[in-house]
């Protein structure tokens, strides 16, 4: 998420942003972990010791290296089909990243466009759009996504689309609220007087001044997306086996929870660490971008 | 106040219609034919396909299907389950107390721990307690609760053997449903050990479901307290020489609670989403598990009806919170 921020801020503000962001030690740690996970995701095929779907039949449910019966050949142990857990976790990072990025891109572009429209539209259209968003928000997000995926057919891509649709209304509300508070400011009036067209007004004059809360929300949805897609995978409605997606891995591991703690512990830990790092970063972004919200 | 009430009720109606439209159209408008999906990989003959289409009314024009559906909904008829052949409405309300019991316990736990945690963090701002509490809150907030549930089972049921893994009460006990709440019914039954069994079944799901709300409430309480503690009237109270505990708990907390209450109201959706995962893992016979099972079984009338009832419930709770909020805070009412 930091990358997006960098491109929209001007150099002077970038420095200022970094100055405030650096103040928050948790946020900086979060950023480093996030970058680390990103590299793991990018270089997964070179980092992983084995292919994530390769089955070593002589080594079923082998415990991690430091426990009795484990070996460093399979550092974090193997699952019920003899697949190397570490390799699967490393490849899993790719899916989580993919999910986070795609969901944020779909939800932000859709949400910002609709939000801008609602903010500038005549009252009747605004009302229709906002009621529609209320309707989507009335459903618990995971339930709505679950039903959407059930109808579309379970797959990682459908899970991603469903989560993006469910998260979108938050962006619409945020963008619209920001647009409405900006719309009557003097600089907007002057742009109008200078003859700016409607689209220029929306995307070039007003939008850059509404970005701060949206960027913070983007960090939040990145982590939400990872959690929700893992939850869908866990319920069998996301990525399908043998995909090494973390939630799907947990679902496969469920029946071994009392026999092989490692097949359950590590995938969940990977989800928790990634989500925690992003949320830490999100808190830092909020503090650095929005002095009004500065509380922690 | 009356105007405020009316305007809120008026926005409720279009949202309700929208909710029925969405739950109605899921099966009919989205790509993918529910009947083909229902048949699965075995496929089905053309006659059977047409027969089923006619049975569900899918051969009618969309508008008249919706009309039929809505007429049913307004009379409390949401169709019957494919699997159990029971009315969806009755099934929902038979299972709802289980979810309500679990959710109430979870939100109570979250409030009882979350508000004090937030207050303690706020009055120790920047110190060790604040950091420790807020780091834990962030971990809780980031927790994949389905994994958290599995860890709890490993530790408390597997290693320590303290709690059962699934269900609401041990099969040893049988008594009539009076309130639908196992905690109360087991006490009423007077059977020795029944209440204890109900509690031990409830503990882990409650902790799991409470985790995210607890973190949200603690964070919100802390930031609301910090804001209020900076106000002039707090300074005046200090200047008057009131004891700090009185200032914190009487003067500050009362005002800080207003945004916290709103957040608690908004957590209903989070609780229900959490209930889906928690109930599935602990085999808790509530509406969350019922919805997931119905989705697996392609029991479309249940999915459609359940989706709508849950959304309406969330809307009613949000409306109530809104109205209460308007009652407490005149600024909202006037805007």
Task: Give A142-156 as a DSSP string.
Answer: HHHHHHHHHHH-S-H
DSSP-based three-state secondary structure for B87: strand
List residues bridging with B41 in a β-sheet: none
Range of the domain at B121: 88-334
A193 close contact with B: CB closer than 8 A: no
**How far is the C-alpha of B166 from the C-alpha of B147, rounded, in Å?**
16
**Chains A, B: CB pairs < 8 Å:** 139
CA–CA distances in Å: residue A4 to residues A54, A218, A246, B260: 37, 10, 26, 32
Instruction: For residue B36, tell me if it sits in a domain.
Output: no
What CA–CA distance (Å, rounded) separates B198 from B178?
15
Between CA B31 and CA B62 the distance in angstroms is 15
| Residue B78, domain member (yes or no) | no
Q: First vs last Cα of chain A: how many Å apart?
A: 20
Provide the whole-model pTM: 0.87
Tell me if chain A has a CB within 8 Å of the CB of B152.
no
What distance in Å separates residue B191's CA from the closest CA in chain A? 32
Q: Could you give the CA distance from residue B210 to residue B212 in angstroms, rounded to a whole number? A: 6
Do residue B151 and residue A265 have CB atoms under 8 angstroms apart?
yes
Task: With beta carbons under 8 A apart, name residues in chain B contacting A140.
Answer: 269-270, 272-273, 276, 310, 314
Domains and CATH numbers, chain A: 39-293 (1.10.3720.10)
Short-list B322, B11, B5, B317, CA closest to A131:
B11
Q: How far is CA A67 from CA A89, A261, A263, B152, in A?
A: 19, 11, 14, 21
**What is the residue whose two structure tokens read 């006619």?**
B54
pLDDT in tens, B10-43: 888 888 888 888 888 877 765 556 677 666 666 7
Is residue B230 one of the residues assigned to a domain?
yes
Q: Is residue B79 part of a domain?
A: no
Q: Is A134 on the interface with B (CB under 8 A)?
A: yes
Secondary structure class of B324 (helix, strand, coil): helix
**What is the C-alpha to C-alpha distance for residues A114 and A136, in angstroms, rounded to an integer?**
14
In the prediction, which pLDDT does B331 show? 67
DSSP of A231-276: HHHHTTSSSPTTS--HHHHHHHHGGGTTT-HHHHHHHHHHHHHHHH
CA distance B313 to chain A (A): 9
Would you tell me which residues 14-43 of chain A have a C-beta closer than 8 angstroms to some C-beta of chain B?
Answer: 26
**Is B52 domain-assigned?**
no
Q: Work out how many domains chain B is built from and give that number.
A: 1
User: Rg of chain B over CA atoms, in angstroms?
Assistant: 24
B15, B276, B298 member nearest A134 (Cβ): B15
Which residues, including other chains, have CB under 8 Å from residue B293's CB and lie 6 or more apart?
Answer: B299
Please state at what angle helix A211-234 crosses helix A246-253, rounded to 10 degrees. 30
Quote the tokens at residue A199. Answer: 């689209």
CB atoms within 10 A of CB A26: 19
Distance CA B260, CA B117 (A): 13
Q: pLDDT by residue for chain B (335 residues), tens digit each?
A: 778 788 878 888 888 888 888 888 877 765 556 677 666 666 777 787 788 777 777 777 778 888 888 888 888 888 888 778 889 889 998 999 999 999 999 999 999 999 999 999 999 988 999 999 999 999 999 999 999 999 999 889 888 888 888 888 877 777 777 777 888 888 787 777 788 888 888 999 999 999 999 999 999 999 999 988 888 888 888 888 888 888 888 888 888 888 888 888 888 888 888 899 999 999 999 999 999 998 888 788 888 899 999 998 888 888 888 787 777 776 666 65
Query: What tokens appear for B25 in the block?
Result: 């159209």
Kindly report the CATH number assigned to the domain that includes residue B119: 1.10.3720.10
């Amino acid at each position: 998420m930091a990358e997006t921020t960098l491109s929209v801020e001007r150099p002077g503000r970038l420095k200022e942003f970094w100055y405030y962001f650096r103040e928050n030690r948790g946020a900086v740690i979060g950023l480093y972990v996030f970058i680390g996970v990103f590299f793991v995701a990018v270089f997964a095929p070179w980092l992983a010791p084995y292919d994530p779907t390769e089955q070593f039949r002589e080594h079923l449910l082998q415990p991690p290296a430091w426990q009795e019966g484990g070996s460093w050949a399979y550092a974090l142990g193997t699952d019920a089909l003899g697949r190397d857990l570490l390799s699967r976790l490393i490849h899993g990072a790719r899916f989580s990243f993919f999910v986070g990025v795609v969901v944020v891109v779909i939800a932000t572009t859709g949400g910002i466009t609709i939000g801008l429209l609602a903010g500038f539209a005549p009252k009747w259209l605004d009302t229709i759009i906002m009621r529609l968003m209320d309707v989507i928000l009335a459903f618990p997000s995971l339930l709505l996504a679950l039903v959407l995926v059930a109808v579309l057919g379970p797959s990682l891509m459908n899970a991603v689309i469903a989560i993006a649709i469910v998260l979108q209304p938050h962006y619409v509300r945020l963008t619209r609220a920001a647009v409405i508070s900006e719309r009557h400011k003097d600089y907007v009036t002057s742009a109008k007087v200078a003859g700016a067209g409607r689209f220029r007004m929306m995307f070039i004059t007003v939008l850059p001044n509404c970005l701060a809360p949206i960027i913070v929300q983007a960090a939040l949805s990145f982590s939400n997306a990872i959690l929700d897609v893992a939850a869908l995978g866990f319920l069998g409605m996301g990525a399908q086996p043998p995909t090494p997606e973390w939630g799907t891995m947990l679902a496969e591991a469920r029946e071994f929870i009392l026999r092989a703690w490692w097949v359950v512990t590590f995938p969940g830990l990977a989800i928790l660490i990634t989500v925690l790092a992003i949320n830490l970063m999100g808190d830092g972004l909020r503090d650095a971008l929005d002095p009004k919200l500065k509380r922690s | 106040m009356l105007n405020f009430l009316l305007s809120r009720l008026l926005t409720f109606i279009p949202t309700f219609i929208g909710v029925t439209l969405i739950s109605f159209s899921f099966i009919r408008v989205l790509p993918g034919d529910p009947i083909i999906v229902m048949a699965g990989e075995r496929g089905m003959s053309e006659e059977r396909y047409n027969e089923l289409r006619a049975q569900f009314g899918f051969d009618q024009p969309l508008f008249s299907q919706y009309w039929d559906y809505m007429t049913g909904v307004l009379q409390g008829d949401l169709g019957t389950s494919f699997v159990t052949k029971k009315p969806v409405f009755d099934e929902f309300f038979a299972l709802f107390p289980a979810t309500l019991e679990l959710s109430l316990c979870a939100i109570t736990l979250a409030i009882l721990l979350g508000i004090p945690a937030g207050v303690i963090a706020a009055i120790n701002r920047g110190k060790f307690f604040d950091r420790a509490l807020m780091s834990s809150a962030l971990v809780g907030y980031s927790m994949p609760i389905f994994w958290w549930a599995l860890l709890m089972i490993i530790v408390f049921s597997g290693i320590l053997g303290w709690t059962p893994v699934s269900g609401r009460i041990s099969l040893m006990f049988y008594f009539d449903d009076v309130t639908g709440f196992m905690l109360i019914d087991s006490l009423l039954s007077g059977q020795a050990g029944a209440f204890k069994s109900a509690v031990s079944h409830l503990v882990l799901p409650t902790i799991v479901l409470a985790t995210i709300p607890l973190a949200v409430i603690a964070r919100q309480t802390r930031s609301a307290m910090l804001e209020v503690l900076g106000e002039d009237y707090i300074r005046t109270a200090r200047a008057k020489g009131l004891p700090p505990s009185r200032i914190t708990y009487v003067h500050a907390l009362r005002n800080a609670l207003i945004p916290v209450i709103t957040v608690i109201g908004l957590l209903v959706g989070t609780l229900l989403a959490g209930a889906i995962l928690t109930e599935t893992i602990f085999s808790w016979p509530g509406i969350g598990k019922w919805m997931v099972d119905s989705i697996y079984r392609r029991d479309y009338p249940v999915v459609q009806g359940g989706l709508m009832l849950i959304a309406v419930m969330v809307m009613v709770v949000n409306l109530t919170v809104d109205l209460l909020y308007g009652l407490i805070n005149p600024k909202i009412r006037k805007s």
